[in-house]
Structure 1
Amino acid sequence: MFVTEAFAQTEGAPDGHGTPLTSAPTPATSEAIGVPEGAHEAGGTFPPLNPEFFASQILWLAISFGVFYYVLSKTIIPRIASVLENRRERIAADLEAAERMRADADEAQAAYEQELASARANSQKIAGEARDSARSSADTERKRIEGELDAKLETAQARIAEIKARALADVDTIATDAAEAILTELTGASVSHDEVANAVRAVRA
């Protein structure tokens, strides 16, 4: 039988005057405190490590896991799934926006290149037209100047021919007069003016 340490020390022991303690309470037994017979003989094994409690522990573990899974499936997992879905939708929207922006950038670049090519073509066309216009204007001005120069040249040539003819006429007259004077002076004879003029012309020819 199990006897507590306090009762073991006081049972049958005299008090300070040598009188037995007759009024001590009845010792508590293991049956009285509800401990089954032989429980203390198990060597004080920790209950979770006692094989007798494995079945109940597994049962409560399954129940706890089921309750925990139910709580997770009804509260935390839906929230996590909602957050993941929102993030997935946001990422998809961002990717779509980025793709749309890239397409817009490609279209803008293509339009810019087309406008640049058109501007280059227009500039070349304008430059060609300006060059042709300048060439045409230059040709017209050249022809006008050449015409004026030709007219002035013809006028000058006419004047030169007139001056030359006048000079030749004066030369013939001078030569005729000089020849007539020389003949008269040398021969002392009178020579016909027409004969001297004919002789001068024949010599000049």
Structure 2
Amino acid sequence: MIAAVSALVVAAAAAAHGEGSSGLPQLNPANFAPQLFWLAVSFVILYLILSRSTLPRIGEVLEERRDRVQRDLDAAERFKGETDSALAAYEKALADARQKASSMAKDVRDRLAADTEAERNRVESELAAKISEAEARIAATKSKALASVDDIAAETATAVVGKLLGEDVSPAEVKNALQ
């Protein structure tokens, strides 16, 4: 429309200067009607070609692109959901593994403490038995030694008296003298 108005202005100016036959034919006002007719015909033909073939293809490409973007967004959302569920499963498995490891460590610690306590009790009972056995042997040895002390003292005294006096003294006499 602006082109048509500018063409009219140029044609009017050319007609005013007397340039009728020379110059550009499209600016000749006598040629405006056929030019406008062919402009309308070419516009209708171009519009029909574009609306029937080119614009539907462009629309299909745009629709396909929109569908592809939507599919990609849906796939991304699905993958995000799968990733979230996998992450939740991983965190749950990790928490379960930590709990299991903690319970296993506690069980091992408790079992080792019980084994250690049982071993300590066994060793203490063995030591107590050995101590009581040793005390019984010591008491037996002591009583035997104390019983033998009189005999040894009597023999020693007999030997000493015999050496000092030069006489033989009987062990019964020495025992009587010691008591």
Q: Is 1:136 matched up with 2:117?
A: no
Match of 1:47 in 2: 25
Preserved contact between residue 25 and residue 31 of structure 2 (Cα < 8 Å): yes
Q: Which has the higher helix share?
A: 2
The two structures, once aligned, show a CA RMSD in angstroms of: 2.6
> Who is 1:168 aligned against?
146
Unaligned runs of 5+ in 1: 1-40, 199-205
TM-score, reference length from structure 2: 0.75
Structure 2: how far apart are the matches of 1:127 and 1:196? 77
Residues 67-82 of structure 1: matches in 2 within 5 Å? 67-82=45-60
Contact map agreement 2:20 2:28 (CA 8 A) in 1: no
Please, which runs of 5 or more residues in structure 2 have no aligned partner?
1-18
Q: For residues 1-25 of structure 1, give each alpha carbon's deviation from its aligned partner in whole angstroms, at most 9, with x where no partner exists.
A: xxxxxxxxxxxxxxxxxxxxxxxxx
Contact 1:176-1:196 within 8 A present in 2 as well: no
Q: Deviation at 1:97?
A: 0.4
1:180 deviates by 5.5
Q: In the alignment, is residue 150 of structure 1 matched against residue 128 of structure 2?
A: yes
Identity within the alignment, %? 44
Structure 1 segments, 4+ long, off by >3 Å, are 41-46, 176-195
Report if the CA contact (8 A) 1:173-1:197 is conserved: no
> Between Structure 1 and Structure 2, whose CA radius of gyration is higher?
1
Number of residue pairs the alignment of both structures matches: 158
CA deviation profile, 1:64-104 (whole Å, cap 9, x unmatched): 21231132122211121111101101110011101111220
Take 1:158 and 1:175, find their aligned partners in 2: how far apart are those partners?
Answer: 25
Q: Give a deviation string over 1:30-53, Cα, whole Å, max 9, x none.
A: xxxxxxxxxxx9444442121211
Deviations 1:142-165 (A, max 9, x none): 111211111011111101110111
Aligned equivalents of 1:166 and 1:153: distance in 2? 19
Q: Are 1:113 and 2:94 an aligned pair?
A: no
Output the CA distance in 2 between the equivalents of 1:179 and 1:170.
Answer: 14
